[in-house]
């Protein structure tokens, strides 16, 4: 994905997160920690500590990241991730540290921890071409370790209150399950033979349900869940399918749309069935699609204006 896509995504998800934060503030509950799960959209450097082909510790990544002086940190973006931005909006003095970083110990974890990994997905097979990455199951395993560490720092009663009432769980995942699994040439051939799109989406939703239940059982209560954006419109898919800049890959977008509809139902199900939990769905797909349409309209208007001036 491009740096521009990451920036756009961050701004859009921030709007949803701020809305969520407003609802929490209304309940007089101050959020103190941010626990982040997902893929390259929010990876803050975990892949730096993995032997993997999915790394972002080289320029131009980080060129606008003031905290590092413009140096790459392992974030797959020119600046902050959405996890960084949300943390700032919550008034946190420090960003949620990558779980695998050696200094993510002691009271540092009380600011929150970032478990996200570039190439990771809901399904364990996702991202296998990178040789190594942290999928959602492993990320939650790591949070379980963090959860026990918080108990030791605060005591079990205060720790449970801290996680339940003062922590935000952001989960931004799903794109790689299509881009680097079901839709990936050669690698995906076996998957497509054994699973049609309906079955593959079912598999994703069933796994994701279990994963979110696990976070709930570990005392997560305040969640922002992102759906999958219009992945058929990103440059990677356009180039792979030899399309023009204004065209998008229908299959990729259809899969995202199908998954998003099921995800919406899942979020409603969790809100109905998990007492005390709040799940907010970030509808990134529609917001990014609107921006793409707007950009294309502007480009057409500019072309027409230039044409009129040349004729004049």
Q: Which segments within the chain are labelled E, that is strand?
A: 33-38, 97-98, 113-114, 167-172, 222-226, 278-282
Structure tokens at 211: 């994963």
Contact of 246 with 240, CB cutoff 8 Å: no
Contact of 275 with 201, CB cutoff 8 Å: no
In eight-state DSSP terms, residue 154 is: H
Contact of 29 with 166, CB cutoff 8 Å: yes
Contact of 50 with 122, CB cutoff 8 Å: no
Checking 151-156 for CB contacts under 8 A at 24+ apart, the result is: 153/106, 153/107, 153/109, 153/110, 154/110
Return the closest-CA partner of residue 188 out of 198, 199, 196, 180.
Answer: 180
- d(C-alpha 224, C-alpha 261), whole Å: 16
The reported pTM is 0.88
pLDDT tens for each residue of the chain, 312 residues long? 443 444 445 455 555 555 555 554 444 356 789 999 999 999 999 999 999 999 999 999 999 999 999 999 999 999 999 888 877 877 777 899 999 999 999 999 999 999 999 999 999 999 999 999 999 999 999 999 999 999 999 999 999 999 999 999 999 999 999 999 999 876 655 666 678 999 999 999 999 999 999 999 999 999 999 999 999 998 878 877 777 777 889 999 999 999 999 999 999 999 999 999 999 998 989 888 888 775 555 554 555 555 555 565
């Amino acid at each position: 994905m491009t740096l521009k896509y990451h920036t756009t995504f961050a701004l859009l998800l921030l709007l949803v997160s701020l809305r969520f934060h407003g609802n929490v503030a209304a309940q007089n509950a101050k959020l103190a920690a941010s626990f982040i799960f997902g893929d390259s959209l929010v990876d803050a450097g975990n892949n730096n500590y993995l032997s993997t082909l999915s790394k972002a510790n080289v320029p131009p990544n980080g060129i606008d990241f003031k905290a590092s002086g413009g140096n790459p940190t392992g974030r797959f973006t020119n600046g902050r991730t959405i996890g960084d931005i949300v943390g700032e909006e919550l008034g946190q003095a420090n960003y949620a540290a990558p779980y695998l970083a050696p200094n993510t110990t002691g009271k540092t974890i009380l600011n929150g921890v970032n478990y996200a990994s570039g190439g990771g997905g809901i399904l364990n097979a996702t991202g296998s071409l990178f040789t190594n990455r942290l999928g959602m199951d492993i990320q939650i395993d790591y949070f379980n370790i963090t959860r026990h560490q918080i108990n030791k720092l605060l005591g079990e009663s205060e720790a449970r209150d801290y996680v339940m009432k003062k922590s935000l769980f952001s989960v931004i995942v799903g794109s790689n399950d299509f881009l680097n699994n079901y839709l990936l040439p050669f690698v995906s051939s076996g998957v497509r033979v054994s699973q049609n799109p309906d079955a593959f989406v079912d598999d994703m939703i069933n796994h994701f349900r279990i994963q979110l239940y696990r976070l709930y059982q570990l005392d997560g209560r305040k969640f922002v869940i992102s759906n999958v954006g219009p992945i058929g419109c990103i440059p990677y898919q356009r180039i792979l399918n030899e399309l023009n800049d204004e065209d998008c890959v229908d299959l990729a977008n259809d899969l995202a749309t199908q998954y998003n509809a099921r995800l919406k139902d899942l979020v409603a199900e969790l809100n109905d069935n998990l007492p005390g939990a709040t799940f907010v769905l970030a509808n990134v797909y529609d917001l990014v699609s609107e921006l793409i349409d707007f950009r294309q309209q502007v480009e057409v208007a500019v072309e027409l204006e230039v044409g009129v001036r040349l004729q004049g």
